[in-house]
Structure formats: structure tokens, C-alpha cells
């Protein structure tokens, strides 16, 4: 505890410098980690009025960008490589869910082709990622 100069007794001021230091470090940590929490490639999701939230097991994320390239997590996978990658993930975890993040600019036919490949790879179903209308 600090003693006040010229006064007798204990100084009753609170030193907030350590608190500010801790808060700033936490802020920096969250600013660095938050972008890493998003899985898959960055796409503009279509919006939907009603969203069904599934809090099940961690899904395998497929991303389809506006230039019609498909990624498993962040790895580019086209054609047979897509099916083989999904097949491998399902072999490791037979009940693995698959979530498809398709860009808003894509046509339904483009997304259906990828969904067909996912089913051919042995996935039981495909969830579509959307954002809630505001």
C-alpha cells in the first residue's frame, strides 16, 4: 500500500493502471482470435426469414465462392477431389454433418451440383448455411 506524502495514514485511491493493462491485452487477444473463428472461405451468405439452429456436432464446412470454386474448410477441392475429401472425412466420423456455405450470387443449379457430389461421397445430408434477415 502506498502512503500519501505529507499526510499520515493509508492512501485510499485505487490504482486502475493494472486493470487497464489487462483489459487492453484481452481486447487485443480477442481482435486477433475472432477472425480465426470463422471456418471455410469467406462468402456472402443468402438471407432467410426463419433459421433452424442446429447445435449438434462440429460439421464439415464446404464453401462455394462466387467464382464457383469449392473448398473443404480452406482447401480448394474440385470434382473428384471434393468427393474424395468428403469420403475421407466421413470414414473418420461416420455421422459427420456437412454444411455448405454458398455465395449469394450463385444459381441454384450450381449449388445442386455440389450437393449431388456430397451425396455421392456418402454424406447423409447437407445443411445450407444462411444468415438471418434483419
pLDDT digits (tens, 9 = 90+) for 24-63: 999 999 888 877 667 776 676 666 777 677 666 788 888 8
> SS3 for 62?
strand
At residue 21, the pLDDT reads 94
| CA angle centred on 130, ends 127 and 134, rounded to 5° | 150
Q: Please, are residues 48 and 109 in contact by the beta-carbon 8 Å criterion?
A: no
pLDDT, position 104: 84
b/e burial code for range 79-103 (CB count within 10 A of at least 16 → b): eeebbebbeebbeeeeebbbbbbbb
What pLDDT score was predicted for residue 44?
63
What is the SS3 assignment for 38? coil
Predicted local confidence at residue 57, as pLDDT: 73
Give yes or no for a contact between 101 and 71, defined as CB atoms under 8 angstroms apart. no
pLDDT of residue 66: 86
Express as a percent the part of the chain with pLDDT over 70: 84
pTM of the model: 0.64
Q: Give the pLDDT confidence score for residue 24 in this predicted structure.
A: 95
The reported pLDDT for the residue numbered 6 is: 60
Cβ–Cβ < 8 Å for 87, 49: no
Q: What is the pLDDT of residue 26?
A: 94
For position 20, what pLDDT does the model report?
93
Residue 59 is classified by DSSP as P
Domains and CATH numbers, the chain: 47-132 (3.30.420.270)
Q: How far is CA 118 from CA 3, 26, 46, in A?
A: 71, 40, 20
The grid coordinates listed for 41 are: 472461405
Residues of the chain where predicted confidence (pLDDT) is lower than 70: 1-7, 36-37, 41-42, 44-47, 51, 54-56
Amino acid at each position: 500500500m502506498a502512503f500519501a506524502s505529507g499526510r499520515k495514514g493509508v492512501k485510499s485511491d485505487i490504482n486502475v493502471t493494472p486493470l487497464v493493462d489487462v483489459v487492453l491485452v484481452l481486447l487485443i487477444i480477442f481482435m486477433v482470435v475472432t477472425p480465426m473463428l470463422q471456418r471455410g472461405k469467406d462468402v456472402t451468405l443468402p438471407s432467410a426469414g426463419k433459421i433452424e439452429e442446429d447445435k449438434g456436432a462440429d460439421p464439415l464446412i464446404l464453401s462455394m465462392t462466387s467464382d464457383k470454386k469449392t473448398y473443404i474448410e480452406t482447401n480448394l477441392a474440385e470434382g473428384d477431389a471434393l468427393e474424395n475429401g468428403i469420403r475421407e472425412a466421413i470414414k473418420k466420423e461416420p455421422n459427420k454433418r456437412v454444411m455448405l456455405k454458398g455465395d449469394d450470387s450463385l444459381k441454384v443449379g450450381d449449388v445442386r451440383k455440389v450437393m449431388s457430389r456430397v451425396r455421392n461421397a456418402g454424406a447423409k445430408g447437407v445443411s445450407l448455411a444462411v444468415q438471418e434477415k434483419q
